[in-house]
Amino acid sequence: MSDTKYIFVTGGVTSSLGKGIVAASLAKLLQSQNFKVTIQKFDPYINVDPGTLNPYEHGECFVTDDGAETDLDLGHYERFLNVSTSQANNVTTGRVYQSVIEKERKGEFLGKTVQVIPHITNEIKERMQLLGESGYYDIVITEIGGTVGDIESLPYIESVRQLIWDLGRENAVVIHLTLIPFLAAAGELKTKPTQHSVKTLMESGISADIIVCRTEHELTEDLREKLALFCNVKREAIIQSIDVNTIYDVPLKMLEEGLDHVVLDKLQLQPKQSHQLGAWNDFLKRFKNPKHQIKIGLVGKYVELQDSYKSILESLIHAGADQETDLEVVSLHSEEIDLGNVDEVFGELDGVLVAPGFGERGIEGKITAIEYARKHNLPFLGICLGMQMAVIEYARNHVGLTDANSTEMDPDCKFPVIDLMESQKSVLKKGGTMRLGAWDCKIQPGTKTSEIYPSTSISERHRHRYEFNNDYLDQIFDNDFIIAGKNPETDLVEIIEYKKHPWFVGVQFHPEYKSTVSNPHPLFKGFVQASLAKKLTP
C-alpha cells in the first residue's frame, strides 16, 4: 500500500451545500503547502456518466482531456488547482455496477453469489484507491455525492467505513459538511439537523472528524462548543463556512478557520512549506477591484439554470479579473430572441457569447443573435453549437444558401453545411460516443486566434458529433469568412473567423474546460479584451 493519505467529504442535511467547493478549497490550501493533491467524486446515480443527462438535471457536463464526461465539480477542482483530472476522478454507481456485472459475466467471481457487500463495495474501494496507488499523490480527497442517509449513497458510506479500517485511522480523515439553518422567527441558528446528520453517519459506523458548517450567520463560540460536544469532535474541528460573494473566497475562509491545519494534524502530516497563496490573492484583488465594467450577453437555451453554463461563467470571471474588468453577464434565452427584439436586446451589449447545445430548440434565436453580432461589429465568441450556428448564419445570409442547416436540426436540409462526422454515422449508442476530449488544432498564422494563443499548435477539449461539412469549403469560406484553425490529421474545421469585424471567432471545441484561476483561457481573454475595447471606443 502507498503512503497516500485519504480525506473523505460527505454531506448532510441538504444537497447543494457546496461540497465540491469546500473540497477544492481544502485541496488548494494543501497544494499551497506543497502537497500533491487530487480530488475525486463518487456520484450515487445509476447513469454510467453524466454525458446522457440533460443540463437541467445536474448542470453542465464537464469534459476531461482523456475524454471523460464528468460531474461539474471536476471543473471546480481543475479551476482551483490548475491540475488536469481524468476518468478516474469521477465514478458513478452505474459505472461500478457495469464493471461488476461485466466481471460476473466473465466468471470472475468463481460461482459466488454477487452482492452489494462485498462485491460492489470492493469495486468502490478499489476505485477510491486507484489514484492514490499511483504513488504520485500525497493526499487524495474523495467527495461522496448526495446526502448521508440517502438509500443510494449507502454502499459508498459503507465502503468508506471499510476503507478507513484498511488504511488505518491515522491515514484517513472524514469531513462532514452540513447546514446550520437560521430560523428568522426565533432569530437563532439551529444545530439539531447537524446533530441528526452526524448521528446518521455514526449509524453507518463512521464518526466524522471535522464538521464544516454552512451558515448565513457567524457561529458563536457557544454554538461551536455545543456542536463539538454533541457531534463528538474537538472544538477546533468545528469549521464555519459562511456565505461569501464569490466561491474564490472560500479557500481563504477555510484558511482563517484552520481547516487544513486540523486535517494535517489528524493525518499526522507536517506542512511542507508555509501557504503560498500570492497568485490566488492577486487574482482576488483584480477580481474585486475592477477598473472597467462591460455587459456580455450569454445566449443559450438552458439559461434558467446557471449551473448549465458553469465553466463558461467561471472562464468569463477568470478573463474579467485578468483584464481588471467587471463582467455583467446577461442571460439571454435563445427561444426568446427574434427579429422583433434583437436590436433592443443586443444594442446595449459589449459582447455576445453563443453557448454550446444540442437539438433544435432555440437555434433560430442563436442565428438571429449571431447575424446581429456579425453585422453590428459586436464582439462574438461562438462555442461548439455556437460556432456551427455562425457557419449556418453566414451560409444563409451572406452566401445565399437560404436552406442551409445542420443535419442535427434538419436531416433532409438542402444545404447541410454542418453534418454528422463520418466516424459518427455508424454510432447508435448515445453514451460516451461523441468526439470527446483533447484533440490537436493547428492555427492559421495571421488570424485573430494566432495573436492570442502563445503557440500555433494547440490542444483543446471536444464534445460533439457534428462538424463543418468539408463539401462546402469553397462555397462558405472566402476572403472575409475564414478557417483560422484545423485538426492537422483529419482536416476538421476547428476555428472560424470573420475578418470584416473587430472580433468574431467561433470554435468547434470547448475552451471553457481549460480556463483556470492561474491560467485564464486565451480565447476568453481575447473576447473580454475586444468587448472592453468596444465599450471604450464605441
Does residue 421 contact residue 465 with C-beta atoms inside 8 Å? Answer: yes
Smaller CB distance to ligand GLN: residue 318 or 464? Answer: 464
Shortest Cβ 415–ligand GLN spacing (Å)? 17
Shortest Cβ 447–ligand GLN spacing (Å)? 22
Shortest Cβ 386–ligand GLN spacing (Å)? 7
Burial class from Cβ neighbours inside 10 Å (0-12, 13-18, 19+) for residue 74 reads: buried
Shortest Cβ 52–ligand GLN spacing (Å)? 13
Shortest Cβ 465–ligand GLN spacing (Å)? 4
Smaller CB distance to ligand GLN: residue 356 or 416? Answer: 356
Does residue 512 contact residue 312 with C-beta atoms inside 8 Å? Answer: yes
Per-residue exposure over 153-176, b if at least 16 CB sit within 10 Å of its own CB, e if not: bbbbbbbbbbbbeebeeebbbbbb
Shortest Cβ 359–ligand GLN spacing (Å)? 7
Smaller CB distance to ligand GLN: residue 211 or 391? Answer: 391
Q: Where are the beta strands (DSSP E) in 12-158?
A: 37-43, 62-63, 69-70, 90-92, 139-144
Helix (H) or strand (E) holding 337: none
Smaller CB distance to ligand GLN: residue 94 or 356? Answer: 356
Burial class from Cβ neighbours inside 10 Å (0-12, 13-18, 19+) for residue 457 reads: exposed
User: 181-187, long-range: CB within 8 Å, 24+ apart, which pairs?
Assistant: 181/13, 182/215, 182/216, 182/217
Shortest Cβ 345–ligand GLN spacing (Å)? 22
Active site residues: 384, 510, 512
Smaller CB distance to ligand GLN: residue 91 or 493? Answer: 493
Shortest Cβ 380–ligand GLN spacing (Å)? 16
Does residue 280 contact residue 321 with C-beta atoms inside 8 Å? Answer: no
Shortest Cβ 232–ligand GLN spacing (Å)? 47
Q: Where are the beta strands (DSSP E) in 334-366?
A: 351-354
Per-residue exposure over 183-192, b if at least 16 CB sit within 10 Å of its own CB, e if not: eeeeeebebe
Say how far apart CA 405 and CA 468 lie, in whole Å. 11
Say how far apart CA 20 and CA 516 lie, in whole Å. 16
Shortest Cβ 346–ligand GLN spacing (Å)? 21
- Residues found near ligand GLN in the complex (CB under 6 A): 356-358, 384-385, 408, 463-466
Say how far apart CA 233 and CA 250 lie, in whole Å. 22
Ramachandran sector of residue 446 (left: φ over 0; alpha: ψ -120 to 50; beta: rest):
left
Who contacts 131 (Cβ-Cβ below 8 Å, separation ≥6)? 38, 40, 88, 89, 137, 140
Smaller CB distance to ligand GLN: residue 251 or 356? Answer: 356
For residue 454, cis peptide bond before it (omega within 30 degrees of 0): no
Burial class from Cβ neighbours inside 10 Å (0-12, 13-18, 19+) for residue 305 reads: middle
Joined together, the cell numbers standing for residue 192 give 439539531
Nearest Cα neighbor of 93 from 39, 13, 150 is 150
**Angle formed at CA 242 by CA 236 and CA 246, multiple of 5 degrees:** 130
User: 217-226, long-range: CB within 8 Å, 24+ apart, which pairs?
Assistant: 217/182, 217/189, 217/242, 218/242, 219/180, 219/189, 220/189, 223/180, 223/189, 223/191, 226/191
Helices (H) and strands (E) in the chain, counts: 18, 23
